[in-house]
Amino acid sequence: MATKRIFGEISGVSEGFLFSSYVELNQSKVHIQTQAGISGSQSEGADSIVVSGGYEDDQDFGDEIIYTGHGGRKDGKQISDQTLTRGNLALAKNEIDNLPVRVIRGAHKGNLFAPEVGYRYDGLYRVESHWIELGKSGFNVYRFKLVKQNSSLPPISVKAAQIDIEQKHGSNNPRRVSSTVQRVIRDSKLGRQLKKLYDYKCQVCELQINTEAGFYAEAAHIKPVGAPHNGPDLLENLLCLCPNHHLMFDKGVFCLDDRFNLIGVDGRLYLNPKHDVSKEFLNYHRSMFGKL
Amino acid sequence: MATKRIFGEISGVSEGFLFSSYVELNQSKVHIQTQAGISGSQSEGADSIVVSGGYEDDQDFGDEIIYTGHGGRKDGKQISDQTLTRGNLALAKNEIDNLPVRVIRGAHKGNLFAPEVGYRYDGLYRVESHWIELGKSGFNVYRFKLVKQNSSLPPISVKAAQIDIEQKHGSNNPRRVSSTVQRVIRDSKLGRQLKKLYDYKCQVCELQINTEAGFYAEAAHIKPVGAPHNGPDLLENLLCLCPNHHLMFDKGVFCLDDRFNLIGVDGRLYLNPKHDVSKEFLNYHRSMFGKL
């Protein structure tokens, strides 16, 4: 019988807990795999991963990890492109369903955040985004940006934050059973300038959301801001979108070609002549989702 | 000539800075009003507010403030309903446009977070939400939930975070000119259960967003979770919505009557017989936006 997949904290295992081996990780239910770095299924999501330096493209910044997906390797070398299947698809499922993933760091050289020996449970991360990238090997790899969940829960509730896939009922105290995902929406004078240019209408569907305090729209970055993409906050890197098309653009449901036709869904981007959208950044966005 | 309205930090004024009077606040440009608690305009938003205990309904939790709007008062007593105009509308504009508001606390009894004397600049807050509430006086007042912006910027950048309404250009370093708003999206086993019940289709428009990792929808709370509403995480308090209708529901663009017709826009809520939506919570949501 397969071990039940538990999302969230494992009762009795607090952050910083050390394990000597995969066998111990398995027995404690922290990582129910005996070899693979990603524990998860395509339909449920990934419950835990081990960061152990197996992939040359991993980058560890502590509270942020750029994690490389699995597949396409033989004898420790990348020999073909990775695909969005198995563990990779499981991690992408976490992103869509706001599921937390347990991160375990294994000892390995060159990583400041890894333990000196064994495996350390390092808490819950959310999968903020994923994209395709040309790895050092010359083959396409999937990359996942993991961000540590800043729990504002009092210490006593941390154990109770466990999200059990078998859990049947809700609670009158949502803080205890919810995983919380924070979607960061940046705004600025530039964003307002852009929105005014389009009269707060979505550049894809022309929806204009009218609230009692005025119109609402979102300024979406084409090349994402923040590490590792570090797109700039410039008008040419921004689109004025409704929340739906912002989400769909960020998740790669659609991309844009150089003539501003939508790829993935029917349609065409509305453009104000004063708005010079960068084709370089559109190309970057397409490459993130393999739509070159 | 009117003083230019500056959103964000005032150069040279760091958090904790003390002022002796409104005149000093005015001269330093921290609060460019001579008497009113809210500095702002309907079209631009509110640049600063003073929390000084003038309203019996204010609640100060430090990093969160439940701030009462202005209007409807005479000789320090609430004598009529407040309306979403002037300073109140300015604060609602901040909410929609993701503009930060400077918070200044004035000395007053009974508030643990107020200074002992004078006025203290306490940093930038974002306006998370607003709603109507029956105040202690028996009249309707507007209430604003303000949440402190957690700046993850290094100290040296804090001054540079100033957002000047007159600022003309963007930047290659978005962290320095952006105000960041974090929209909290909770999810849980319950949320997944709900979404599966509706096959990830929006209960208002039936949109089903199909990403490469599966369908995407959002679980929206009818009575908001978190203080001061403290709605429960129960199926009867949840709706399965697309991002657009989630945003519109949260901002009161539409409400629902007891027969599940939409108020504010045309339409009717799709309901699965297994989903027992609470009329009590629908009523609470309507009351928040004066749609009783």
pLDDT digits over B63-117, tens only? Answer: 999 999 999 989 888 999 999 999 999 999 999 888 899 999 999 888 889 999 9
**Mean of pLDDT over chain A:** 85
* pLDDT tier at A2, thresholds 50, 70, 90: low
Q: What is the mean pLDDT of residues A128-143?
A: 91
Q: Which residues contact A54 (CB under 8 A, 6 or more apart)?
A: A37, A76
Q: How far is A71 from chain B (nearest CA, A)?
A: 17
Q: What is the pLDDT of residue B227?
A: 80
Q: How far is B96 from chain A (nearest CA, A)?
A: 6
pLDDT in tens, A185-239: 455 678 889 999 999 999 999 999 999 989 999 999 999 998 889 999 999 999 9
Q: What is the pLDDT of residue A163?
A: 30
In which element (H, E) is residue A95 found? Answer: helix A86-97
**Helices then strands, each counted (H, E), chain B:** 6, 19
CB-CB neighbors (< 8 A) of A242 in chain B: 244
Q: What is the pLDDT of residue B189?
A: 78
A168 vs A66, more confident: A66
Q: Is the pLDDT of residue B183 over 60?
A: no
Upper half-sphere CA count for residue A206 (Cβ side, 13 Å):
5
* pLDDT tier at A164, thresholds 50, 70, 90: very low
Task: List the single range of A161-170, A266-275, B191-200, B218-227 with lowest mean pLDDT.
Answer: A161-170
Q: What is the pLDDT of residue A158?
A: 24
Identity of the residue in A178, A184, A246 whose CB atom sits nearest the CB atom of B182: A184
* pLDDT tier at A153, thresholds 50, 70, 90: very low
* pLDDT tier at B42, thresholds 50, 70, 90: confident
Q: Is the pLDDT of residue A148 over 60?
A: yes
pLDDT in tens, B118-159: 999 999 999 999 999 988 889 999 999 999 986 443 332 222
* pLDDT tier at A136, thresholds 50, 70, 90: confident
A161 vs B10, more confident: B10
Q: What is the pLDDT of residue B4?
A: 78
Give the integer Cα–Cα distance in Å for B149 and A186.
12
Q: Do B187 and A225 touch (CB under 8 A)?
A: no
A149 vs B161, more confident: A149
Q: What is the pLDDT of residue A57?
A: 74
CB-CB neighbors (< 8 A) of B215 in chain A: 96
Q: Is the pLDDT of residue A173 over 50?
A: no
Q: What percent of chain A is predicted at pLDDT more than 90?
A: 66
- A233 CB within 8 Å of a chain B CB: yes
Q: Is the pLDDT of residue B186 over 90?
A: no
- A186 CB within 8 Å of a chain B CB: yes
Q: Do A172 and B89 touch (CB under 8 A)?
A: no
A292 vs A252, more confident: A252
Q: What are the phi and psi torsion angles at B125 (to 5°)? A: -125, 155
- B152 CB within 8 Å of a chain A CB: no
Q: What is the DSSP letter of B261?
A: B
Give the integer Cα–Cα distance in Å for B276 and B238.
10
Q: What is the pLDDT of residue A54?
A: 72
pLDDT in tens, A261-288: 999 999 999 999 999 999 999 999 999 9
Q: Is the pLDDT of residue B243 over 50?
A: yes
Give chain B's domains with CATH numbers. Answer: 6-177 (2.30.280.10), 189-288 (no CATH)
Q: What is the mean pLDDT of residues A92-99?
A: 90
Among A11, A41, A180, A171, CA closest to A100: A180
B172 vs A263, more confident: A263
Residue carrying structure tokens 């699995």: A70
Q: Are strands B101-106 and B45-51 parallel, antiparallel or unpaired?
A: parallel
Q: What is the pLDDT of residue B25?
A: 96
Q: What is the pLDDT of residue B160?
A: 26
Q: What is the pLDDT of residue B77?
A: 87
- The verdict on ipTM greater than 0.95 is no
Q: Do A184 and B179 touch (CB under 8 A)?
A: no
Q: What is the pLDDT of residue B109?
A: 86
**Burial degree of B81 (CB within 10 A; 0-12, 13-18, 19+):** middle
* pLDDT tier at A181, thresholds 50, 70, 90: very low
* pLDDT tier at B179, thresholds 50, 70, 90: very low
Give the integer Cα–Cα distance in Å for B266 and B253.
11
As a whole number of Å, the end-to-end CA separation of chain B is 43
